[in-house]
Amino acid sequence: MITLGITGSFADLAGTFMPDVPEWLFHDSAAALVVDGTVVAAVEEERLNRLKHSNLFPASAAKACLELAGVHAEDIDDVAFFFGEDYADLEVGHEYLKFPDVPVLSARELLTTRLTEALGREFRHGDVHFTKHHRAHAFGSFADSGFDSALAVVIDGNGEAEGVSVFDCANGGLKLLHSYPDQHSLGHLYLALLPFLGFRRFDEYKVMGLAPYGAPSVYRDCFRPHYALLDDGGYTMNSGAVVEHLLRAGFEPRRRGEPIRQQDSDLAAALQATLEEVERHLLSHWVRETGAARLCLSGGVAHNSTANGRVLQWGLFDEVFVHPASHDAGASAGAAQHRQAEVTGGRRGKGLVNAFLGPDLGGRDVVRAELAGWSALVDVEEIAPGEETRYAASAVAAGQVVGWAHGRSEFGPRALGHRSILADPRDAGSRDRVNAMIKKREGFRPFAPAVLAESAGEVFDLTSTKARLDFMGCVVDVRPEWREKLPAVTHVDGSARVQTVHRDTNPVMWELIDGFRAATDVPVVLNTSFNNFAEPIVQSVGDVLRCLVTTTLDLAVVPGHAVRRKPGFRAVLHTADAVLHPAALLREVATADGSVERVVSFRTQGAKRVALSEPVFGLLRAAASEPTSAAARGLPADEETLDALLLLWEHRVVDFRVR
């Protein structure tokens, strides 16, 4: 049986469904293909359309999944969507109220229409099946855990009407034990407080990194009156009241881009402590109630790796599985797995071996052909077959920051060794350089260590709770004797979001780290996602090269090749054709003093704007109709112009095609 799982809205870049779909509506679009109970391919749409957290219909992702599996559209037995049909219709209905000129179609009609357009075969209404949101999350985590039985807990912003759901998993199926209404959502609590810290939707992970710098006691009294821990694992949470309490207490919200203040760290610490207290309360009840020895965690809050680490430390369960794609993208696979279980009478397939479910980068010959088009911008050195890991390990040991890409991409938000930036964990300067010069992100944010599985217990306190740590889902303590040896990956509180690398499931990354160990006697490398501040994790060779050229990475290693920026590469941008991203928006904005500011940004709410000079604005306006170059538009090839062109490329609102 072949089932295609879908998450995302029904919109496209052309706005043919709705001209302005909000970014929160069915966010994190993805497609997954499940064959006889096993996920054989899965990819988020953002990796392909290059829009972070894209909620556009995953047409490209669906096509990629079919290609990966060697499956034709006609082979698909059915399609599963990651929310219930009534809820999907309700959300779509709210959008129709905003746009009275748009024809009204149901969610089922929209799905069949979009699928038919994308995949080139007719999909009928009966081909589409809707799965309750938390059931999709829970079933996916249980199926991929490989456990025979478990307690599955879903914690996120909301399902149809739930913020938390608890399931008993046994005999290949799910039994709902309890759901907690979304008005008390822990995910919404986090979301409500992000603006106080100068963050926005999807920045929750920044709060986790900031919290260890603060004292939770400073602001805990702003939370305590507004939540309660009840009998039988119940709780209440009034996020709106917490927001009002903080404002009345005089907490001045930080503005984006301003320095982090101690009060920001203290608030982050109080928020994290509150989340952990409530989560421990409800998990403690349900383990007492059911006697479950194993736990499956999913939902967006299950990406709170600090809280996940606490679950291991609390010792409530013998074994814990945190899904590597716990956010809504992962529900594409869960919905498809759940649908197949409905048909077959229970779970089929094996547990998740690894998360390398996305499109392949390509082998040596494919990469060589792609590199040929970049010869004006990069220098290429050939590497002998099988020597890529040795080459990269030597570069990292020598203090270089290396972009590393090969094979099929990871499904989920963590880079696990197929699309990674690697650096020396022994040098604190590695952390600071990657933060400031490559990622251009806040300096408080930590980096993860990737460690040989055989050495993990020596370097880190893995607790007595058994867990899959190869998906980078849990924060644990670095052993005291290793903290000074690993300053680039040890957080301020002595913790680290560890990834264990196993020779059988991640052999190429294992070989690379083992090469670093042979050179340094340290079985750990710094591992972070291969992207800059403006883009999703790289997917293709072209994405790799854009990131290399527009950051200060020392080099990128791809199959058969080491690649470096050419000195003076910026001059090439003057004659290269500028191509405006289809989701970019050019605007002229009147300012308070009566002048006009010209800007470009992505269309998403809160997207960063890039200020433009009048000549560069004219270039982009022309490029919106047809690719053209700065030279063709008469702009000078001076430092100011080249700086402006490179900045636009860094922000990914513009791409360049070398003539």
Specify if 344 maps to a domain. Answer: no
Tell me which residue has tokens 């883009």: 535
Q: What distances in angstroms separate CA 275 from CA 121, 194, 270, 301, 651, one per listed residue?
A: 46, 14, 9, 9, 34
> Which of 112, 130, 148 is the C-terminal boundary of a domain?
130
- For residue 605, is pLDDT > 90? no
What total number of domains does the chain contain? 4
User: pLDDT band at residue 568, thresholds of 50, 70 and 90?
Assistant: very high
- The per-residue pLDDT for range 136-190, each reduced to its tens digit, is 999 999 999 999 999 999 999 999 999 999 999 998 889 999 999 999 999 999 9
Pick the range with the lowest mean pLDDT from 86-95, 99-108, 146-155, 530-539: 99-108
67 and 192 co-located in one domain:
no
Domain that holds residue 487: 360-565
* pLDDT score for 606: 66
- The per-residue pLDDT for range 569-587, each reduced to its tens digit, is 999 999 999 999 999 999 9
Higher pLDDT, 353 or 14: 353
Specify if 352 maps to a domain. Answer: no
Considering the chain, what is the average pLDDT of its residues? Answer: 95
What count of other Cβ atoms lies within 10 Å of the Cβ of residue 629?
21
Distance (Å, whole) CA 641 – CA 613? 9
145 and 28 co-located in one domain:
no
620 and 475 co-located in one domain:
no
Specify if 338 maps to a domain. Answer: no
* pLDDT score for 185: 97
- For residue 437, is pLDDT > 90? no
Nearest CA to 276 out of 242, 303, 310 is that of 310
119 and 141 co-located in one domain:
no
589 and 528 co-located in one domain:
no
Specify if 332 maps to a domain. Answer: no
Task: Report strand pairing: 294-298 vs 319-322.
Answer: parallel
Return the structure tokens found at 215. 């004292």
* pLDDT score for 443: 81
- The per-residue pLDDT for range 633-645, each reduced to its tens digit, is 999 999 999 999 9
For the segment 26-32, the average pLDDT, to the nearest whole number, is 96
> Which of 536, 565, 594 is the C-terminal boundary of a domain?
565
530 and 578 co-located in one domain:
no
Q: What percent of the chain has pLDDT over 70?
A: 100
For the segment 249-256, the average pLDDT, to the nearest whole number, is 95
- For residue 349, is pLDDT > 80? no
Distance (Å, whole) CA 199 – CA 294? 35
- For residue 439, is pLDDT > 80? no
Distance of CA 111 to the CA centre of its chain: 24
User: pLDDT band at residue 70, thresholds of 50, 70 and 90?
Assistant: very high
168 and 74 co-located in one domain:
no
Looking at residue 650, its amino acid is E
266 and 381 co-located in one domain:
no
579 and 633 co-located in one domain:
yes
Read off the CATH number of the domain in which 514 is found. Answer: 3.90.870.20
546 and 613 co-located in one domain:
no
Cβ atoms of residues 610 and 599 within 8 Å: yes
For the segment 43-61, the average pLDDT, to the nearest whole number, is 95
User: pLDDT band at residue 404, thresholds of 50, 70 and 90?
Assistant: very high
Specify if 635 maps to a domain. Answer: yes
* pLDDT score for 94: 93
* pLDDT score for 580: 94
Q: What distances in angstroms separate CA 188 from CA 132, 182, 200, 220, 271, one per listed residue?
A: 19, 8, 12, 18, 12
Distance (Å, whole) CA 284 – CA 295? 12
For the segment 465-471, the average pLDDT, to the nearest whole number, is 98
The set of residues, in sequence order, having a beta carbon less than 8 Å from that of 82 and lying 6+ positions away, is 5, 6, 7, 26, 131, 133, 136, 328, 331, 332, 334, 335
Nearest CA to 138 out of 319, 409, 347, 278 is that of 347
* pLDDT score for 589: 87
> Which of 530, 548, 565 is the C-terminal boundary of a domain?
565
The set of residues, in sequence order, having a beta carbon less than 8 Å from that of 517 and lying 6+ positions away, is 452, 455, 523
376 and 481 co-located in one domain:
yes
For the segment 539-555, the average pLDDT, to the nearest whole number, is 97
Distance (Å, whole) CA 504 – CA 525? 19
Q: What single-letter DSSP state applies at residue 643?
A: H
* pLDDT score for 171: 83
- For residue 441, is pLDDT > 90? no
How buried is residue 234: exposed, middle or buried, by Cβ count under 10 Å (0-12/13-18/19+)? middle
Specify if 578 maps to a domain. Answer: yes
456 and 527 co-located in one domain:
yes
Pick the range with the lowest mean pLDDT from 60-64, 72-76, 388-392, 592-596: 592-596
Q: What percent of the chain has pLDDT over 90?
A: 89
- For residue 497, is pLDDT > 80? yes
Read off the CATH number of the domain in which 90 is found. Answer: 3.30.420.40
* pLDDT score for 332: 98
In the Cβ-directed half-sphere of 26, how many Cα atoms lie within 13 Å? 28
Pick the range with the lowest mean pLDDT from 179-193, 421-435, 512-526: 421-435
Specify if 348 maps to a domain. Answer: no
Specify if 345 maps to a domain. Answer: no
Cβ atoms of residues 87 and 30 within 8 Å: no
* pLDDT score for 345: 85
Distance (Å, whole) CA 646 – CA 636? 14
